[in-house]
Chains A and B, each alone.
Chain A
């Protein structure tokens, strides 16, 4: 056994609403649980889209302002291009058995991870509990987030 330090708990903040903004956090939360690490997800600002009923099935890849995509900005901004590129990416992920966002969040919830929405963001976007998916365990303040995160590592994405 390697007697190095271990991570016992992670609290992952999701602040972005793009496909590439949301997936890494979901993979890290799910992977933490798979390792027996306690995990909470805290969705704030545009990250809320991932747990909003009418949005979570329609998360798009950012085709503008995303140099890593290697697509000219003007092309990325043309009608239909975000949908096309998103569908392409979703097909590639499906081949690797990476679940779509709703299925992934259901799975993460089943692993026992906590899923929380940021109160300031919920207020800002004029949402309430009924607008959020059933896996959300609570709409919490930043102070409550820190209480949940106490004793663990905080990861901001």
Chain B
């Protein structure tokens, strides 16, 4: 199984770099994951989405899709794509240390 190293901690990730065990994640890791995903600095709006991703995962066992994020996170679809141009649900899940959300809509 591949691992990724954040700070000085090696964590198991899947082939695409998503955390397998969200409990291994901590907030300082998020900045580094974000930079590797092409986001220079995390703003409060990024953090709103990241915390929402983790809360949804904790509650439902899966991360939300962009449609669900747009309807329930308090951040519009338009803004989500401004914050995470390479795919909001996918990128935010990676930064939030949860598995990649699966869903077609």
Interface residues of A (CB under 8 A from B): 1-2, 27, 30-31, 33-36, 96-99, 107, 110-112
Closest CB in chain B relative to A137 CB, distance in Å: 15
With A2-B15, A36-B85: A27-B77 Cβ-Cβ less than 8 Å: no
Interface residues of B (CB under 8 A from A): 2, 15-17, 65-68, 70, 76-78, 81, 85-91, 104-105
Q: Across the interface, do A97 and B67 meet the contact criterion of CB distance under 8 Å? A: yes
With A1-B17, A30-B105, A99-B105: A36-B77 Cβ-Cβ less than 8 Å: no
Can you list 12 A-B contacts with CB-CB less than 8 angstroms, sorted by A residue number? A1-B2, A2-B15, A27-B105, A30-B66, A33-B81, A34-B65, A34-B66, A36-B85, A36-B90, A97-B67, A99-B67, A111-B77
Q: Across the interface, do B89 and A34 meet the contact criterion of CB distance under 8 Å? A: yes
Q: Which residues of B contact A35 (CB under 8 A)?
A: 87, 90
Closest CB in chain A relative to B103 CB, distance in Å: 9
Closest CB in chain A relative to B16 CB, distance in Å: 7
Closest CB in chain B relative to A58 CB, distance in Å: 22
Measured in the bound complex, the distance between the Cα atoms of B68 and A99 in whole Å is 11
Q: Which residues of A contact B86 (CB under 8 A)?
A: 36
Measured in the bound complex, the distance between the Cα atoms of B32 and A109 in whole Å is 31
Closest CB in chain B relative to A6 CB, distance in Å: 11
Q: Across the interface, do A107 and B67 meet the contact criterion of CB distance under 8 Å? A: yes
Nearest residue (CB) in B for A2 is B15
Closest CB in chain A relative to B31 CB, distance in Å: 20
Q: Which of B16, B17, B78, B88 contacts A34 (CB 8 A)?
A: B88
Q: Which residues of B contact A110 (CB under 8 A)?
A: 70, 76-78, 81
Closest CB in chain B relative to A112 CB, distance in Å: 5
